[in-house]
Amino acid sequence: MTKLFAGIEGGGTKFVVAVGRPDGKILAETRIPTTTPEETLSRCVDFLQAQADALGSLAAIGVACFGPLDLQPASVNYGHILSTPKNGWSNADILGSLRKAFDVPISIDTDVNGAALGEWRWGAAQGLENFIYLTIGTGIGGGGMLNGNLMHGLLHPEMGHIPLPKDDDAISVCPFHDDCFEGLASGPAIEMRWGVKAEELPVGHPAWEVEASYIAQALRSFICTLSPQRIILGGGVMAQAHLFPLIREKTLVELNGYIQSPEILKRIDEYIVPVALDGKAGILGAFALAEQALKK
Ligand code: ADP
Ligand code: ZN
C-alpha cells in the first residue's frame, strides 16, 4: 500500500489542507478560512482525521505556513508563529496543535520555503542545490536552498525587507521600513503609488519599468550574497509575464558583467524564471516537507 502524506498550506486568508500520495498526487483537499488559530487548526485536524479514517493512516505531515515562525528545533517555541500583526495569531502553536492529534513525523517551514521545496521536488528547481524562490504579491518573501538545505538561520530569511534606493515619488507600504523591497515593490505598493490595482495596469505603463528596476536591484543583492544557481519568481504580481524580459535585462545591467557566469551572461532566460507549479506550489511544497519529515 502506498504511503499517504498530509500537507497544510497556512495562509493569512485561508488554509489549504490535502492528503495525497508521495508522488504529489492529491487525493483529497479542502480550504478552511483563517479565523482564530483554535478554530482554524482544529478544522485542519478534523479534516485530516476524517481523511485518514477513509483513506488510510497518514505517514507524515508537512506544514508550509505564513510567518514569522520559530524554526529552531531546540527552542521551546519551535513551530509557533512569532509576534504577528495578524489578529490572534501571535504565538499560535501550529506544530503543537498537530502533534497533539497525530503521532507521525511532522515538518514545518515558512510558506516560501515550502513553495521553494515544491519547486525543487517537482518544478523549476529540480536538480539544484542553490536557488532562491521569491514571491511578489501582497508581501514579498523569499526562501530557497543553500548547499542542498532549505535556508534557515537565526530565524529565516526575510528577503522582502532588504533596503532599496528609492526615488522621490516612492512611498513605502511597509510599517517597519520606508525603503524596503516589500514596501516599494509589493502589489499594495504598486497600487498605492499608481492609484490602481496592479492587475489593472496595462502592459507598457511606466509602473512596470519602475517595478522591474526594483526587482532587478533586489536580485543583484541576492545574486551577490547567495550566488543562487537559479532564481524563481512567483506571486500575483509576477503573473505579468512581460515583467520577465524587463527584469532579466535590468539585472544584467545591474550586475554590469561582474559575475562572470555563463548561466547569467548567456542563459539569463533560464536563470530568472517563473514558477513551474503555479497555484500548486504551496500544497505540493507541504507534501515535500512531509517527505522530508519522514526521511529525518
Ligand atoms: P498573496 O500574496 O496574498 O498570497 P498574491 O500572490 O495573489 O496573494 O498577491 C496579491 C497581490 O498581487 C495583490 O496586491 C494584487 O494586486 C497583485 N496581483 C494579483 N494578480 C495580479 C496580476 N495578474 N497582475 C499584477 N498584480 C496582481
Ligand atoms: Zn520592510
pLDDT in tens, 201-238: 999 999 999 999 999 999 999 999 999 999 999 999 99
Q: Are residues 145 and 237 in the same domain?
A: yes
16 with 104, same domain: the answer is yes
Closest listed ligand to the CA of 235: 1
Which ligand 1 atom is nearest residue 197's CA? 16
One domain for residues 134 and 19? no
- Considering the domain architecture, whether residues 270 and 285 belong to the same structural domain is answered as no
**Ligand 1 contacts CB of residue 240 (under 6 A):** yes
**C-alpha of residue 160 to centroid of ligand 1, in Å:** 15
- Give nearest CA residue, ligand 1 atom 13: 187
Residue 65 is predicted with a pLDDT of: 97
- Compute the C-alpha angle 262/221/174, nearest 5°: 145
Q: What SS3 state is found at 20?
A: strand
Whether 146 contacts 101, CB under 8 Å: no
Is the pTM higher than 0.85? yes
- What's the chain's average pLDDT? 96
Specify if 223 maps to a domain.
Answer: yes
Q: In this structure, what C-alpha cell is assigned to residue 195?
A: 492609484
**Cα–Cα nearest to 71, from 48, 94, 102, 38:** 94
Q: How far apart are CA 26 and CA 200, in angstroms?
A: 33
**What's the rounded mean pLDDT across residues 86-97?**
95
- Residue of 138, 196, 210, 277 to test ligand 1 pocket, by largest number of atoms within 8 Å of CB: 138
Provide the domain limits for residue 161.
124-274
Is residue 200 a part of any domain in this protein? Answer: yes
Q: Do residues 244 and 285 both lie within one domain? A: no
Q: What is the CATH number of the domain that holds 20?
A: 3.30.420.40
Cβ(138) – ligand 1 distance below 6 Å: yes
Domain count, the chain: 2
Question: Is the pLDDT assigned to residue 167 strictly greater than 90?
Answer: no
Q: Rounded to an integer, what distance in angstroms lies between the CA atom of residue 215 and that of residue 205? A: 16
Q: Could you tell me where the DSSP H helices lie in the chain?
A: 37-55, 94-101, 111-122, 181-185, 187-194, 206-226, 243-255, 262-265, 268-271, 281-295
The DSSP 8-state label assigned to residue 10 in this structure reads: E
- Same domain, yes or no: 23 and 72: yes
Query: Comparing C-alpha atoms, which of 99, 4, 106 is closest to residue 53?
Result: 4
Q: How far apart are CA 173 and CA 179, in angstroms?
A: 9
Position 118 in a domain: no
Q: Are 271 and 99 in contact (CB under 8 A)?
A: no
Report how far ligand 1's centroid is from the alpha carbon of 173 (Å).
Answer: 15
Whether 226 and 146 have beta carbons less than 8 Å apart is answered as yes
- Tell me how far apart the alpha carbons of residues 100 and 80 are, in angstroms, rounded to a whole number: 14
Residues 157, 193 within the same domain: yes
Q: 3-state class of 225 per DSSP? A: helix
**Ligand 1 contacts CB of residue 187 (under 6 A):** yes
pLDDT in tens, 114-157: 999 999 999 999 999 999 999 999 999 999 999 999 999 888 89
177 and 249 fall within a common domain: yes
Q: Which long-range contacts (CB under 8 A, 24 or more apart) does 72-78 make?
A: none
Instruction: Tell me which residue has cell 496543535.
Output: 97
pLDDT(278) > 90:
no
Is there a domain that residue 119 lies in?
A: no
pLDDT surpassing 80 at residue 1? no
Please indicate, yes or no, if residue 146 is contained in any of the structural domains.
Answer: yes
